[in-house]
């Protein structure tokens, strides 16, 4: 793979014709283990000699992968994201302080609860507040909105105030303008609000007002979501600057945040809340990622889907195991050096055509229009059902 080849990527088709491919970068959720993803991408950037985002037509990220995806789409380098993890990771995963009286009151209950991986404080509120994460995002993204993105972007979340999934997106398809003025900060805090770890995030923007939690609850591996989005782009984006492609031209490079080769076993007759609590979120996210991986491997044969992941031992590698930060970054950089030759050249050679956003829709009088798809969605609003309420 050459870092100097600036031609648009092409794929071979029947009859030896060559046609432009549409490349997707898909980034899993996984808490602090996202540092592996950022470091792996940093290594690719070093080899290519340019920002990794320039290789892709669409970037999708969930939870910690959403942090990375938003940053890359805004023009930051993967190295910038690695530094964010290094400088802010410990603060993000630092528990709230408790008074001495509160500590004394919790001592005996915690002696019992810790056997189930819990503590009394975590029964009543999230383990962490989001202030440190919000500060980290503000530091690196400086108040940017999705309208300022330099690359197409999608980020899943769950809108608890309506009880349904949602996809935040840049204005890269016509008549989908709801998220144009959403702050990158709001999008990141919405997709990273992992239940029990961080509190739900409230967005006050009138076009997307509501309470949101982690997108990993339904799309921890956002590759399938991105694949469907790419098909949609191929169907509805018909401007002169939109280079045509077909579903057969779609490629997906997916990066995971680790899998444990060991499983856990619940007590068969006593699997209540205390048995499930330490495992449920991780199990949901890992199972969703594995299921999506298998579907994409089937839907995108002939090397059109490539997955990067690593194994960990499970215990001690939880979503908030910030003590592993240095190891994760070192492993990401090492794996990047070792595996770059195994990534098919069609995923990284050349750069994607420039992303040109769609302008805001206008009313017949030429004035900005809220439009059906831009007004606040309601549970009875059929327009909100299209494209996962987006």
What residues act catalytically? Answer: 63, 214
- DSSP 8-state assignment for residue 32: G
Tokens of 378: 């309601």
Give residues with Cβ within 8 angstroms of 361, minimum separation 6. Answer: 175, 177, 368, 369, 371, 374
Closest among 195, 197, 186 to 96, alpha carbons compared: 197
Give Cα 54 distance to the centre of its chain.
18
62, 221 Cβ separation under 8 angstroms: yes
192, 67 Cβ separation under 8 angstroms: yes
159, 178 Cβ separation under 8 angstroms: no
Please state, in angstroms and rounded to a whole number, the distance separating the CA atoms of residues 386 and 308: 31
DSSP secondary structure, 115-130, as one string: GGT--HHHHHS-SS-S
- Write down the number of H helices and E strands in the chain: 12, 10
- Does an H or E element contain 68, and which? helix 64-73
Tokens of 283: 């199990």
Tokens of 334: 């090492």
Q: Note the maximum CA span of the chain.
A: 77
Closest among 93, 237, 240, 241 to 171, alpha carbons compared: 237
- DSSP 8-state assignment for residue 309: -
Place of tokens 């002939």: 302
Closest among 157, 229, 169, 161 to 193, alpha carbons compared: 157
SS3 category, 150: coil
Burial readout 204-235 (b: 16 or more C-beta within 10 A, e: otherwise)? eeebbebbbbbbbbbbbbbbbbbbebbeebbe
299, 240 Cβ separation under 8 angstroms: no
């Amino acid at each position: 793979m050459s870092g100097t080849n600036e031609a648009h990527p092409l794929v071979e088709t029947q009859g030896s014709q060559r046609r432009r491919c549409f490349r997707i970068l898909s980034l899993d959720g996984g808490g602090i283990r996202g540092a592996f993803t950022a470091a792996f991408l940093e290594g690719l950037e070093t080899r290519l000699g340019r920002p990794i985002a320039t290789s892709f037509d669409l970037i999708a990220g969930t939870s910690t992968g959403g942090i990375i995806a938003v940053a890359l789409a805004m023009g930051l380098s993967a190295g910038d994201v690695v530094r964010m993890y290094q400088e802010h990771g410990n603060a993000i995963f630092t528990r709230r302080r408790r008074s001495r009286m509160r500590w004394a009151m919790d001592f005996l209950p915690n002696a019992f609860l810790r056997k189930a991986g819990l503590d009394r404080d975590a029964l009543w509120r999230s383990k962490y507040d989001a202030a440190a994460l919000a500060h980290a995002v503000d530091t690196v993204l400086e108040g940017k909105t999705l309208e300022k993105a330099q690359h197409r972007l999608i980020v899943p979340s769950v809108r608890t105030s309506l009880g349904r999934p949602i996809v935040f997106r840049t204005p890269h398809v016509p008549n989908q303008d709801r998220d144009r003025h959403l702050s990158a900060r709001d999008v990141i805090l919405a997709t990273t609000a992992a239940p029990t770890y961080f509190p739900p995030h409230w967005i006050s923007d009138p076009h997307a007002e509501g309470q949101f939690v982690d997108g990993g609850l339904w799309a921890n591996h956002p590759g399938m979501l991105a694949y469907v989005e790419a098909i949609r782009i191929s169907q509805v984006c018909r401007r002169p600057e939109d280079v045509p492609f077909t579903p057969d031209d779609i490629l997906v490079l997916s990066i995971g945040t680790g899998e444990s080769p060991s499983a856990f076993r619940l007590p068969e007759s006593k699997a209540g809340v205390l048995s499930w609590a330490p495992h449920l979120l991780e199990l949901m996210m890992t199972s969703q990622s594995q299921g999506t991986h298998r579907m994409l491997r089937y839907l995108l044969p002939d090397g059109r889907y490539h997955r990067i992941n690593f194994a960990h031992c499970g215990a001690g590698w939880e979503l908030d195991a910030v003590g592993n930060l240095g190891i994760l970054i070192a492993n990401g950089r090492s794996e990047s050096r070792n595996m770059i030759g195994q990534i098919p050249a069609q995923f990284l050679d050349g750069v994607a055509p420039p992303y040109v956003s769609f302008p805001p829709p206008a009313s017949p009088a030429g004035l900005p229009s809220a439009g059906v798809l831009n007004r606040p969605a309601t549970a009875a609003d059929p327009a909100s059902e299209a494209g996962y309420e987006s």
